[in-house]
């Protein structure tokens, strides 16, 4: 990993992947494609911004993506950029499908034609599976997303593996559960919303009935897995790996866990108005654990406390 290209590097996962990549390869040149910078983000507030080469542009712009890969002689790619919000996808499916699907094609076409790329890690999602035919999802579960965001990730996943198979590109696909941790500025998500509710003593509005169940995984563990997979991409190219902390909770159970971890209850109100949400998702990541002898390095309660401390600082300085 000498010349690294990260799409979506200023997002929740991206900032931590930059940090982990620099820990593993401190002399690497990292090129980060961003549309805009938020001073509150982990990428900016942690100082990662000052240790990379920034390129401002859109993943949908084929020329911009190609120039990044070719001009900087990229050998490793982390493709993290996406439109990730389910409700935005429902309201504007064209933008979501264009960003998530054709953005992926742009990245993989640049990798295919450059001749220098030695590793690509593509972010898919547990949403790519759609409604479960069996639980927990293993990597051979069919990819059957139905709603716009889910479909965009099913397609991203399939396209990545097409490029791996047909063009012998060393591409690995990741499918994570719900990622949380310092730097998530989408306060409509459960954990950031809970942290805001705690910091401001305001009700968290739960769109569902509170019984939806999800896997949760800490962003620093996620970043470690991304970099680890990039280092093994030639060996495991063409494969997909699930990743989770092994913590599978309903919305209400997760709020209870947060309350216990930080020592105060999360104020909340259940609206029960969510639509097009998959009621239950549980991942099996035994393939990842058995292949790489991986397990989360940070205890779940500690991860919640560390996340809470970051949000406390955020809200105290940006009120």
Residue positions annotated with a catalytic role:
149
State whether the Cα torsion 292-258-309-312 is positive or negative: positive
Peptide bond into 136 cis (omega under 30): yes
Q: What are phi and psi of 253, to 5 degrees?
A: -65, -35
Q: How many Å apart are CA 13 and CA 81, to the nearest integer?
A: 10
State whether the Cα torsion 302-11-223-239 is positive or negative: positive
Q: How many Å apart are CA 143 and CA 146, to the nearest integer?
A: 10
Quick one: how far is CA 229 from the chain centroid?
14
Note the residue count of the chain.
319
Q: What does the H/E/C string look like for 89-123?
A: HHHCHHHHHHHHHHHHHHHHHHHHHHCCCCEEEEE
Q: How many Å apart are CA 187 and CA 222, to the nearest integer?
A: 20
Q: Specify the 3-state DSSP secondary structure of 158.
A: helix
Take residue 276 and report the two structure tokens written for it.
């097009």
What number of other Cβ atoms are within 10 A of residue 71's Cβ? 10
H or E element at residue 263? none
Q: Specify the 3-state DSSP secondary structure of 3.
A: strand
Structure letter (DSSP) for residue 136 = S
Residue showing tokens 């058995």: 290
């Amino acid at each position: 990993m000498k010349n690294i290209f990260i799409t979506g590097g200023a997002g929740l996962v991206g900032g931590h992947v930059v940090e982990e990549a620099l820990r593993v390869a401190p002399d690497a040149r990292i090129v980060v494609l961003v549309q805009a910078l938020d001073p509150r983000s982990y990428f900016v507030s942690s100082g990662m911004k000052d240790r990379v080469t920034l390129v401002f542009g859109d993943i949908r712009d084929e020329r911009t993506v190609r120039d990044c890969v070719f001009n900087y002689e990229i050998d490793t790619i982390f493709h993290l950029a996406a439109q990730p919000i389910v409700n935005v996808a429902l309201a504007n499916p064209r933008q979501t499908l264009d960003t998530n699907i054709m953005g992926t094609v742009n990245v993989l076409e640049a990798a295919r034609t450059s001749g220098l790329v030695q590793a690509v890690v593509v972010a898919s999602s547990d949403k790519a599976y759609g409604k479960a035919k069996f639980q927990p999802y293993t990597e051979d579960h069919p990819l059957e997303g139905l709603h716009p965001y889910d479909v965009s990730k099913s397609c991203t996943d399939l396209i990545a593996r097409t490029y791996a198979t047909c063009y012998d590109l060393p591409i690995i696909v990741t499918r994570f559960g719900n990622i949380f941790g310092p730097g998530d500025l989408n306060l409509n998500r459960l954990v950031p919303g809970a942290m805001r509710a705690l910091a401001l003593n305001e009700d968290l509005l739960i769109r569902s009935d509170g019984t939806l169940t999800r896997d949760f995984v800490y962003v620093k563990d996620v970043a470690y897995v991304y970099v680890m997979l990039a280092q093994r991409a030639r060996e495991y190219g063409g494969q997909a790996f699930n990743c989770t902390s092994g913590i599978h909770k309903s919305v209400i159970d997760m709020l209870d866990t947060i309350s216990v971890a930080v020592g105060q209850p999360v104020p909340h109100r259940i609206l029960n108005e969510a639509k097009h949400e998959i009621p239950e998702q549980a991942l099996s990541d035994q393939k990842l654990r058995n292949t790489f002898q991986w397990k989360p390095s940070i205890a779940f309660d500690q991860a919640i406390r560390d996340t809470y401390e970051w949000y406390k600082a955020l809200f105290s300085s940006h009120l």
